[in-house]
Chains A and B, each alone.
Chain A
Amino acid sequence: MRSKAIKKLTALLLAGTTAAMAAGCSAKPEDAATDFGGNGGGDGTVTLNVINYHVGTDYAADYYSYLFDSFTKTEEGKNVRFNFEEIPTTDAFNQKIKLLISSGTLPDIVLNGGNNIIEIAARSGKVADLTPYFDADPEWKALFDERSLEFNTVDGKIYGVPVSKEISYVYYNKDLFKKAGITPPETAFETWEEFFDACEKFKAAGITPLGMDTADSGWLSNLWFSALIATQNANGEKWMNTAYPTDYETPEVIGAAKKLQKMLAEYTTADAAGGKYDPMATHFFNGEVAMFPNGPWMIPDFKNTEKAPEGFYDKVGIMLMPKYGMSLVPTPGDMVGASDPTKIKAAVAFLKYETTVENQIKALEMTGLQPVSPQVIVPAELKANDPLMAEVLDIGAKAKTTYGQNQAYWYQNVIDAFSVILPDLAYYNITPEEFCAKLSEAARKN
């Protein structure tokens, strides 16, 4: 009797389960039309999930807002809709993307957050191989130089679409140079000795010579450090153009660390050790430091009266790093996290739109992002409206040494180690040799 009852109950449960499964199967096509995470919609629309960090006060917020919006008005994008998740700051964005790589739930378009995660993403198998799309559109592929594509290639397959080139040099405050009685060099200090002499003169005039930081990635300090390494000799230049270095105890790196220690201890603000980028930028905007290394994306800030005083733009000059050094790296590109062919196609269409010559010029105009394509000719009107940007475009050609920088070339944990060990270097708690040994130690953990 009891056995019969159990059998009836089991049969009922099985029937129920089968019905539920059938309902689930039959529900799929209807759901797909509105399901953001599903395939292409039944009405012909495709919804792409995007995590966007270009929001709020981000330097490129307006540009990306324009880009996403204008894409949906094009022939290729008229059936594409975007489902945004907003994450302010690249730091939080990069962390989130890494977690999503491991969980396999990447957004359909993976914007690059500055950190080089192309290899991790490619090896995880969670991003699409874009090689066939490049091969199918030679005109699009021809927009990029070989180095930029190579930078986004893993095991012979292209996974990232580079959207800009990253360059950095030195901004200086003309008024402070005048006050210290120093004539700014036309293009760059000829030697590091000349540069340090100028720093001494600034100090004597009561002016802090350099903008530096250590927190987050120690961005500013690393720009100085990279230049110190690369401009020493051919070995230094080669080292600074090597991806994922593991030996930081070379004569060039140790030599650069010695100079960096001096710079942190003697020529920068008291809050540089442990300090983040933003307060250091404020020091420069407020006319409290004479020289500040950074990229062209900072130029719009000079005109932004919420960040800098009125008229600050006119006080700023541009020079290369001493010995005519300039950081010049292809950027890690935007990737496609979608796995559905329809979505991949739509995502690639967006990336093609993002890298059109017109949009590269638009990006330059609105954000200072340097065009990735050698084919881009910057309009004279843009140069006339933004003399500093024009100067940037011209000065690049005068660089005698070009090199990479840490966010693109170093292991993530080494960037972090650099950031947390740097204050100890600044306060002479460790020697430059120990500093470099600790970086090597961190690199070996990978």
Chain B
Amino acid sequence: MIRRKGVWITLFILPCMVLFAFVYAAPIVTVAATSLTRYTAFEKPAFTGFANFKTIFGDKDFLISVKNTVVWVLLQTTLHVSVGLVMALMLHRKPKGWKFTRTVYLIPNIIPTAATGIMFTLLLNPTFGVIKDLFAFLGVSGPVPNLLGNSKYAFWAVTATWIFYSAFNTVIFLAELSAVNKDIYEAAAIDGATPSQVDRHINLPILKNAVGTCVILASVAMVSQFDIIYMTTRGGPGTSTLNLPVYLYKAMLLENNYGKANAVGVVQIILGVSLVLAIRRLFRSGDGRKTALN
């Protein structure tokens, strides 16, 4: 019986494994292999060992792109997830208008990121954007800062285009909270627990695994973040918003150096996998209970 069950499991997993092999595994192997070659738009790959890795690690722009990527991962896994968590805890209390708020909060997340990028370049335009009117309304004198055009502000301006819109995390947290037995809340209410005590002693411990999941999703998203940066600043001004995907894109399409671009891809994959493993370790349940993360 167990053997037959095993056959069925294999059969169901097989299509997924085949797809994975063709769609992910084969390209990853190709990327890794060609990262060790000199490979350009007009040259066939020729083995050069770790030359591409030496090149990128000797390029300060690459190191800046790694630093920016890591900072964005940290911001996304802390601030972005926290915003979603706080929103979920608030909405879970079902205050007046909570359904409307939940829907409105989701809107920025369903707008294509490329469109969001264009929208922000217009909103933040210092000569005709909303920011100009905002500064006038607030009575701030002097020239309106060029938030996306000046490297002093660009990193934070680009970050602001996504960091507060954490509705997908909120949805995950709300789904987890909705599965909690109501008796627990009733018991807490009978014991005189305040809403913040309920959050601290009931909701947050329950949400630990969901937080872990959201942190993994957030970090992986940041390692591969590209479109909104490309639409707003293309990694500039200077290198202020340059991250790994944009650096890879430039190596591939502007320098036509596919070997170098794939070396960046390998670093990106290693960084992504390392983050997932580290986060899994961080969120591993202390009581030995098997969870989605372990």
- Residues of A participating in the B interface, judged by any CB pair closer than 8 Å: 95, 98-99, 101-102, 120, 123-125, 214-215, 269-276, 279, 283, 412-413, 415-416, 419-424, 426-427, 429-430, 445-446
- Assess whether B42 is in contact with A123, with CB atoms less than 8 Å apart: yes
Q: How far, in whole Å, are A154 and B144 apart by their CA atoms in the complex?
A: 49
B245 within 8 Å of A by Cβ?
no
Shortest Cβ distance from residue B279 to the other chain A in the assembled complex, whole angstroms: 32
Chain A residues with Cβ below 8 Å from B238 are 420-421, 423-424, 429-430
> Given A420-B238, A424-B237, are A445 and B255 also a contact pair (CB < 8 Å)?
yes
Which residue from chain A places its CB closest to the CB of B43 in the assembled complex? Answer: A123
Chain B residues with Cβ below 8 Å from A123 are 41-42
Q: How far, in whole Å, are A426 and B146 apart by their CA atoms in the complex?
A: 11
> Given A423-B236, A424-B238, are A274 and B148 also a contact pair (CB < 8 Å)?
yes
B284 within 8 Å of A by Cβ?
no
Q: How far, in whole Å, are A202 and B154 apart by their CA atoms in the complex?
A: 30
Looking at the complex, which one of B125, B236, B239 makes contact with A279 (CB distance below 8 Å)? B125
Q: How far, in whole Å, are A445 and B149 apart by their CA atoms in the complex?
A: 25
B256 within 8 Å of A by Cβ?
yes
Chain A residues with Cβ below 8 Å from B67 are none
Looking at the complex, which one of A98, A273, A421 makes contact with B146 (CB distance below 8 Å)? A273
A sample of 10 cross-chain residue pairs with beta-carbon separation below 8 angstroms, ordered by A number, consists of A99-B253, A214-B237, A270-B146, A271-B125, A273-B146, A279-B128, A412-B256, A420-B235, A427-B151, A427-B152
> Given A101-B41, A275-B125, A423-B149, are A412 and B236 also a contact pair (CB < 8 Å)?
no
Chain A residues with Cβ below 8 Å from B197 are none
Identify the interface centre among A120, A271, A416: most chain B CB within 10 Å of its CB: A271
Q: How far, in whole Å, are A231 and B265 apart by their CA atoms in the complex?
A: 44
Chain B residues with Cβ below 8 Å from A276 are 121
Shortest Cβ distance from residue A218 to the other chain B in the assembled complex, whole angstroms: 10
B258 within 8 Å of A by Cβ?
yes
Interface residues of B in 234-254 (CB under 8 A from A): 234-239, 250, 253-254
- Assess whether A429 is in contact with B151, with CB atoms less than 8 Å apart: yes
Which residue from chain A places its CB closest to the CB of B255 in the assembled complex? Answer: A413
Chain B residues with Cβ below 8 Å from A279 are 125, 127-128
Chain A residues with Cβ below 8 Å from B257 are 445
Interface residues of B in 106-140 (CB under 8 A from A): 121, 125-128
Chain A residues with Cβ below 8 Å from B239 are 420
Chain A residues with Cβ below 8 Å from B128 are 271, 279
Which residue from chain A places its CB closest to the CB of B143 in the assembled complex? Answer: A270
Which residue from chain A places its CB closest to the CB of B232 in the assembled complex? Answer: A274
Q: How far, in whole Å, are A423 and B157 apart by their CA atoms in the complex?
A: 15
Chain A residues with Cβ below 8 Å from B42 are 101, 120, 123-125
Shortest Cβ distance from residue A418 to the other chain B in the assembled complex, whole angstroms: 10
Q: How far, in whole Å, are A390 and B237 apart by their CA atoms in the complex?
A: 40
Looking at the complex, which one of A416, A419, A427, A445 makes contact with B150 (CB distance below 8 Å)? A427
